[in-house]
C-alpha cells in the first residue's frame, strides 16, 4: 500500500492548490492574474461561466493519478463525467505541458499562465466544457451519463490501458450510468484493459442534494458490491487518497494477472472483482466558505460560480479576493512560473494524462482487412425473381470481417440483444458474444473473449462504441429501427465532438460510427405500432453544420447493402446510418449495378423506365422500391400507353443542396435523373417531411409529391401497412395515372375507369385482410417481366 513521504505529501498539497488557483482564476479573472494588487471590479470577467464546484475534486484525482503514473509508468486515459469542470482539467494540462505542442503561446511563464486564465470561456478561447481542443479528451461530459460506458469501450482490446472514469454524483443519477456499471461483466481481464471508476460524491447538484450523496457508506457498499465491484471509500485526505489509488491499481493488476498468468490456457476467474473508489469531498472544497450569511463550501451554492456578482457587489469581490489569495499564488508561481519542485511527480511525455496516445485514436487507427465482397454477391438472373434477406447476406460478410481481423482485434459489433432477431447470426460461427460472469452451459454462444457486445441498453452500446471508435477501432451498431432514437442525443453530442475535432489538424481522422437500422417499421408483423418509428434519420438531417460528417443510406436490396457496408467500413470521421430490413425481399441489382449506383447515390433504373416519360416514380427504401415496382408492373399491364421513369435513391443526402449536405447531386445530374418538368411521385421509407426538407433548396420542386410513413400502424400484415399509410401499389398507380394524364391524352381517356378500379382493389384488399388475417396471394406472387 502506498504511503506518502513528507516530500510527496507537501508536493500533493501544493500541486493541488496550484491547480485550484488556476481553475478558480480562470472562471473569474481577465486581469491581475497573480493578484499583484487587490482585486478590482474591472479585473473580473463580464461573463462568469464554468463550474467551480466540481473542480477541487477533479484536481484531487488528477494530483494522485500523477503520483500513480509516475510510480508505475502506467498507461492511462482519463474521462471526466463532470466535463463542466473543464477549468480543472485545463489547469492540469497546462502545468504538465501537454497543451504546449498545440498552443505554443501557453508557455510555462507568467505570460503563458495569463493567456491560459484569460482564454477560459473567452471568445475564440477555450469553452466551458471539455472538448477536442485538448489532446487528452475523448469525452466532453456536457450531457451527463456517458462517461462510464465510454470508458469501458476504450478499455476493450487495450490490455495495457487503465481508464480512469470520474463520475459525478449528479451524473450517477442518470439511467445510462446506472446500466453502465454492469459493463464489468463484459470486460475480459485477459485481453482487455481496466476501468477504474471514481464516484465523486460532493453532495449536491445544481440546487438539490444528490441521491448518492444522501446514501450511507453501508448502503453504497451494498449497492456496489451487488454490482460486482470491490468498493473503497476515501475522504479529503491526500494520504488516504494515495493509499486508495495504490490499492485500486494493485487490485486491477491482480485481477489481470490471475487471468493472464498461464497465457492462453489461463483459467478465467469467476466474477472478477474490479475496484471502485467512492470519494467524498465538499462541494466547492477550498472555495468561498460563507458569503452574506449563506454557506457556500459544502453547499449547492458552489455548483457553478460562487460570488457571481463580484463585479457589482464589494462583499462578493472581497470574498473572491480572500479565497484566491488563500492558495498563496506568489509562493506557488514565483515570477509567474510554477515552482520547479511542483513538477517532481508530474509524468513526462506520453505518460502525461493530457498526452495519452489513446485519446488520439486517429493516430492508432489501422485499416480493416475486408473480404472479397464478390464472394457474397446475390446472383441476379432475372429482375426480382430472387428472394433473399439482406441481413443474412450481410451477416456472412461480417463473419469474414471478424475472421480477417482476428489478430488485430480492432472490430466488434455492439447490439442491444437483437443480433439473431436481426438475422446477423452468421457472425456467431466465427466469434462469440462477450460475457465474463458465470452462465449456463446452454448459453453456448457466450465467452469471455467474445467480440459481439450485447446488452439490452442502447445507451450502453452507444457509449461502448464511442469509446472504442475514438481510441482507433471499428464497430457496427445494429438495432431495431424504432429504438435507436433512444441514443439520438448521444449521437448529436458525438457529432459535435467530431465536428470540433475536424477543426484541429492534429486530431487525425478516426474510424466511422456505423448504425444499422433493421427490423424496420414496414415489417413489424408481430410487434406492431410501438415498433414503428422511422424517425432516427430525421434528427440527423437537421444537423446542417455537421452534415458533411453524416451519410444516410437506404439500399434497395442485398447487393446494395453489401456495397454500402463495405464503403462505410472504409470511411473516416463519419457517422453512417444504414436502413435495411431483415425479411425476404426481391432482389434487383447485380453487384456491379449496385456499385455504379452507390458512386452517385441515385440512379434511373433503365429496365423499369421509358424514354420521354409522362411521370417519374422515385423510391427510397427496400420495401418502397419493391412496392413501387409492383405498381409499375401492374400499370404496364393495364395501361401500356403510360410512360414512366423509375428512379431509385440509395443515399439520402444526395437529394439536398451541396451547401448543406455531403455528396449532393449537382444541379445538372439532379435534372438528368428527375427530369426538368415532369411530376415526381416519391415514395419514401420514413416520414415525408424528411424528403421535403432535403428538396427545399432545389429548383422547381413543387412538382414532387412525397409519400411515406404517416404514423398509421398496428399489428397487421405487411401489405396492410402500405394500405394504411396510403403508399400501396394501388395508391401509387392512382397517382401515376392522375399526373401522367396532364401530358398523355391516351392515359387521360382511361383515367377515371382506371382509378375507380384501383380504389376498388384497395377496398377489396382491406376487407380480405380483416377477414383472413393475411394478405391476398397475388400481393406477393407477382413477378417482374
pLDDT at 31 over 70: yes
Residue 91 CA to residue 35 CA, distance in Å, equals 17
Distance, in Å, from the CA atom of 352 to the CA atom of 44, rounded to the nearest integer, reads 32
Q: Name the pLDDT band for 785 (thresholds 50, 70, 90).
A: confident
The strand pair at 387-389 and 584-586 is best described as antiparallel
Q: Please report whether residue 592 resides in a domain.
A: no
- The CA-atom distances, in angstroms, between 315 and each of 24, 46, 329 are 18, 17, 21
Tens digit of each residue's pLDDT (9 = 90 or more) over 746-764 = 999 999 999 999 999 999 9
According to DSSP, the residues that pair with 412 across neighbouring strands are: 475
Cα–Cα dist 769/557, whole Å? 27
| Judgement on whether residues 542 and 621 belong to the same structural domain of the protein | no
Same domain? For 321 and 462 the reply is: no
How high is the pLDDT of residue 269?
A: 65
735 domain-assigned: yes
Q: Which three cell numbers stand for residue 424?
A: 446477423
Q: How confident is the model at residue 546 (pLDDT cuts 50, 70, 90)?
A: low
Instruction: Find, among 464, 500, 499, 471, the residue nearest to 362 by Cα.
Output: 471
Contact (Cβ atoms closer than 8 angstroms) between residue 548 and residue 565: no
What residue spans of 261-360 are helical by DSSP H? 314-325, 329-332
**Is pLDDT at 552 greater than 90 in this prediction?**
yes
List, in sequence order, the alpha helices (H) in 601-654.
Answer: 622-638
Pairing of strands 615-620, 680-684: parallel
Task: Give residue-wise pLDDT tens across range 444-483.
Answer: 899 999 999 999 999 999 999 999 999 999 999 999 999 9
Calculate mean pLDDT across residues 426-450.
94
Burial of 219 (0-12, 13-18, 19+ CB in 10 A): exposed
Q: Give the domain CATH number at 581.
A: 3.40.50.970
CATH at residue 766: 3.40.50.920
Residue 582 and residue 608 in one domain: no
204 with 106, same domain: the answer is yes
Q: How far apart are CA 72 and CA 473, in angstroms?
A: 27
For the CA atoms of 498, 499, 503, 504, the dihedral, rounded to the nearest 10 degrees, stands at: -10
From the list 56, 78, 127, 5, the residue with the least C-alpha distance to 347 is 78
Tell me which of 537, 560, 586 is where a domain ends. Answer: 586
- Residues 676 and 566 grouped into a single domain: no
Give the domain-ending residue among 536, 551, 586: 586
pLDDT at residue 526, as a whole number = 78
Task: Give domain status of residue 736, yes or no.
Answer: yes
Domain assignment present for residue 331? The answer is: yes
The pLDDT value recorded for residue 775 is: 92
What are the distances in angstroms from CA 145 to CA 175, 186, 581, 732?
7, 19, 31, 46
Cell 429496365, located at residue: 607
Q: In terms of domains, do 336 and 444 share one?
A: no
Distance CA 712, CA 261 (A): 59
Query: Which conformational region is residue 460 in: left (phi greater than 0), alpha (psi within -120 to 50 degrees), or beta?
Result: alpha
At CB < 8 A and 24+ separation, what contacts does 545-549 make? Answer: 545/499, 546/495, 546/496, 546/498, 546/499, 547/653, 547/656, 547/660, 547/661, 547/662, 548/662, 549/495, 549/498, 549/499, 549/502, 549/573, 549/574, 549/575, 549/662
Tally of domains within the chain: 3
Directed axis angle between helix 55-72 and helix 238-260, to 10°? 50
Residues 174 and 115 both lie in one domain: yes
User: Using an 8 Å Cβ cutoff, are 155 and 195 in contact?
Assistant: yes
pLDDT tens digits, 156-167: 999 999 999 999
* Cβ contact 532:593 at 8 Å: no
pLDDT of residue 662: 77
191 plus 267 within the same structural domain: yes
Cα(582)–Cα(383) distance, rounded to whole angstroms?
20
Query: Which of 278, 313, 344 finishes a domain?
Result: 344
Has residue 358 been placed in a domain? Answer: no
Task: Check whether 266 has a pLDDT greater than 70.
Answer: no
Same structural domain, 244 and 105: yes
328 belongs to a structural domain: yes
- E strands, 635-738, in order: 644-649, 680-684, 704-707
**Residue 136 in contact with residue 393, Cβ under 8 Å?**
no
Residue 696's contacts (CB-CB under 8 Å, 6 or more residues apart) are: none
Same domain? 329 vs 380:
no
Give yes or no: residues 331 and 402 share one domain: no
For residue 454, the cross-strand partners are 415
356 falls within a domain: no
pLDDT at position 497: 95
pLDDT per position as a tens digit, 669-705: 999 999 999 999 999 999 999 999 999 989 889 999 9
Domain assignment of residue 579, given as a range: 363-586
Q: How many percent of the chain have pLDDT more than 90?
A: 91
The whole-angstrom distance between residue 144's C-alpha and the CA centroid of its chain comes to 14
Q: What is the DSSP code (8-state) at residue 560? A: H
Which residues lie closer than 8 Å to 593 by C-beta, 6 or more apart?
A: 559
**Average pLDDT for 115-124:** 96
pTM for the model stands at 0.96
Specify the higher pLDDT residue, 221 or 530.
221
Asked if residues 622 and 507 have their Cβ atoms less than 8 Å apart, the reply is no
Q: Is the pLDDT of residue 356 over 90?
A: yes
Strands 194-201 and 161-168: parallel
Same domain (yes/no): 307, 419 = no
Beta-carbon contacts of residue 75 (< 8 Å; ≥ 6 apart) = 160, 161, 162, 351, 356, 358
Query: Is it the case that residue 264 has pLDDT exceeding 70?
Result: no
Task: Please state, as a whole number, how many other Cβ atoms lie within 10 Å of the Cβ of residue 293.
Answer: 5
Q: Would you say residue 697 lies in a domain? A: yes
Average pLDDT, the chain: 95
Amino acid at each position: 500500500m502506498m504511503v506518502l513521504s513528507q516530500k510527496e505529501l507537501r508536493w500533493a498539497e501544493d500541486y493541488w492548490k496550484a491547480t485550484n488557483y488556476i481553475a478558480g482564476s480562470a472562471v473569474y479573472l481577465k486581469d491581475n492574474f497573480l493578484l499583484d494588487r487587490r482585486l478590482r471590479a474591472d479585473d473580473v470577467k463580464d461573463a462568469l461561466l464554468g463550474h467551480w464546484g466540481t473542480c477541487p475534486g477533479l484536481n484531487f484525482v488528477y494530483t494522485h493519478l500523477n503520483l500513480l503514473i509516475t510510480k508505475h509508468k502506467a498507461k492511462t486515459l482519463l474521462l471526466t463525467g463532470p466535463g463542466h469542470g473543464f477549468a480543472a482539467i485545463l489547469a492540469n494540462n497546462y502545468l504538465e505541458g501537454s497543451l504546449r505542442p498545440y498552443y505554443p503561446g501557453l508557455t510555462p511563464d507568467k505570460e503563458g499562465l495569463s493567456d491560459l486564465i484569460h482564454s477560459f470561456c473567452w471568445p475564440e478561447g477555450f469553452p466551458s466544457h471539455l472538448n477536442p481542443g485538448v489532446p487528452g479528451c475523448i469525452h466532453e461530459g456536457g450531457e451527463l451519463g456517458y462517461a462510464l460506458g465510454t470508458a469501458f469501450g476504450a478499455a476493450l482490446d487495450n490490455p495495457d490501458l487503465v481508464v480512469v472514469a470520474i463520475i459525478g454524483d449528479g451524473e450517477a443519477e442518470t439511467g445510462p450510468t446506472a446500466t453502465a456499471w454492469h459493463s464489468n461483466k463484459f470486460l475480459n481481464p485477459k485481453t482487455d484493459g481496466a476501468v477504474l471508476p471514481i464516484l465523486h460524491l460532493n453532495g449536491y447538484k445544481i440546487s438539490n442534494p444528490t441521491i448518492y450523496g444522501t446514501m450511507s457508506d453501508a448502503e453504497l457498499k451494498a449497492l456496489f458490491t451487488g454490482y460486482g465491484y470491490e468498493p473503497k471509500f476515501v475522504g479529503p485526505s491526500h494520504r488516504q487518497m494515495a493509499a486508495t489509488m495504490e490499492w485500486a491499481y494493485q487490485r486491477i493488476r491482480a485481477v489481470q494477472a490471475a487471468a493472464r498468468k498461464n497465457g492462453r490456457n489461463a483459467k478465467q476467474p469467476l466474477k472478477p472483482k474490479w475496484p471502485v473508489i467512492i470519494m467524498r469531498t465538499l462541494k466547492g472544497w477550498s472555495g468561498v466558505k460563507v458569503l452574506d450569511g449563506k454557506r457556500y463550501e459544502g453547499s449547492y451554492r458552489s455548483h457553478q460560480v460562487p460570488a457571481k456578482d463580484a463585479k457589482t457587489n464589494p462583499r462578493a469581490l472581497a470574498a473572491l479576493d480572500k479565497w484566491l489569495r488563500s492558495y498563496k499564488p506568489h509562493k506557488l508561481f514565483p515570477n509567474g512560473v510554477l515552482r520547479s519542485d511542483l513538477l517532481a511527480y508530474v509524468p513526462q511525455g506520453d505518460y502525461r494524462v493530457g498526452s495519452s496516445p489513446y485519446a488520439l485514436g486517429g493516430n492508432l487507427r489501422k485499416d480493416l482487412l475486408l473480404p472479397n465482397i464478390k464472394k457474397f454477391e446475390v446472383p441476379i438472373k432475372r429482375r426480382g425473381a430472387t428472394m433473399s434477406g439482406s441481413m443474412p447476406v450481410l451477416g456472412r460478410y461480417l463473419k469474414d470481417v471478424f475472421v480477417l481481423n482476428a489478430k488485430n482485434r480492432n472490430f466488434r459489433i455492439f447490439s442491444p440483444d437483437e443480433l439473431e432477431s436481426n438475422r446477423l447470426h452468421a457472425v456467431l460461427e466465427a466469434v462469440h458474444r462477450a460475457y465474463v460472469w458465470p452462465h449456463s452451459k446452454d448459453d453456448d454462444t457466450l465467452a469471455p473473449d467474445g467480440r459481439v457486445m450485447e446488452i439490452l441498453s442502447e445507451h450502453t452500446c452507444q457509449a461502448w462504441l464511442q469509446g472504442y471508435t475514438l481510441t482507433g477501432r471499428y464497430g457496427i451498431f445494429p438495432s431495431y429501427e424504432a429504438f435507436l432514437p433512444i441514443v439520438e442525443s448521444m449521437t448529436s453530442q458525438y457529432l459535435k465532438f467530431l465536428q470540433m475535432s475536424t477543426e484541429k489538424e492534429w486530431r487525425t481522422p478516426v474510424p466511422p460510427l456505423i448504425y444499422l437500422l433493421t427490423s424496420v417499421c414496414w415489417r413489424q408483423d408481430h410487434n406492431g405500432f410501438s415498433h414503428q418509428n422511422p424517425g432516427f434519420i430525421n434528427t440527423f438531417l437537421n444537423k446542417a453544420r455537421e452534415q458533411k460528417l453524416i451519410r444516410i443510406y437506404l439500399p434497395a436490396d442485398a447487393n446494395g447493402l453489401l456495397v454500402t457496408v463495405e464503403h462505410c467500413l472504409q470511411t473516416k470521421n463519419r457517422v453512417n446510418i444504414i436502413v435495411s430490413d431483415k425479411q425476404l425481399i426481391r432482389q434487383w441489382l447485380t453487384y456491379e449495378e449496385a456499385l455504379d449506383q452507390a458512386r452517385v447515390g441515385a440512379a434511373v433504373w433503365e429496365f423499369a423506365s421509358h424514354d420521354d416519360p409522362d411521370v417519374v416514380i422515385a423510391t427510397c427504401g427496400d420495401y418502397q422500391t419493391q412496392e413501387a415496382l409492383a405498381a409499375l408492373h401492374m400499370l404496364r399491364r393495364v395501361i401500356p400507353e403510360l410512360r414512366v421513369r423509375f428512379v431509385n435513391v440509395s443515399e439520402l443526402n444526395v437529394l439536398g443542396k451541396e451547401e448543406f449536405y455531403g455528396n449532393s447531386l449537382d444541379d445538372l445530374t439532379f435534372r438528368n435523373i428527375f427530369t426538368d418538368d415532369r411530376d415526381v411521385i416519391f415514395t419514401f421509407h420514413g416520414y415525408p417531411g424528411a424528403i421535403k426538407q432535403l428538396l427545399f433548396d432545389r429548383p422547381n420542386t413543387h412538382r414532387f409529391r412525397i409519400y411515406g410513413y404517416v404514423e398509421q400502424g398496428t399489428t397487421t400484415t405487411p401489405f396492410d401497412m402500405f394500405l394504411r399509410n396510403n403508399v400501396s401499389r394501388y395508391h401509387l398507380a392512382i397517382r401515376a395515372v392522375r399526373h401522367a394524364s396532364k401530358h398523355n391524352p391516351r392515359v387521360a381517356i382511361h383515367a377515371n375507369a382506371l382509378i375507380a378500379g384501383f380504389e376498388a382493389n384497395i377496398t377489396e384488399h382491406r376487407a380480405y385482410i380483416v377477414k383472413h388475417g393475411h394478405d391476398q396471394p397475388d400481393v406477393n406472387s407477382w413477378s417482374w417481366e
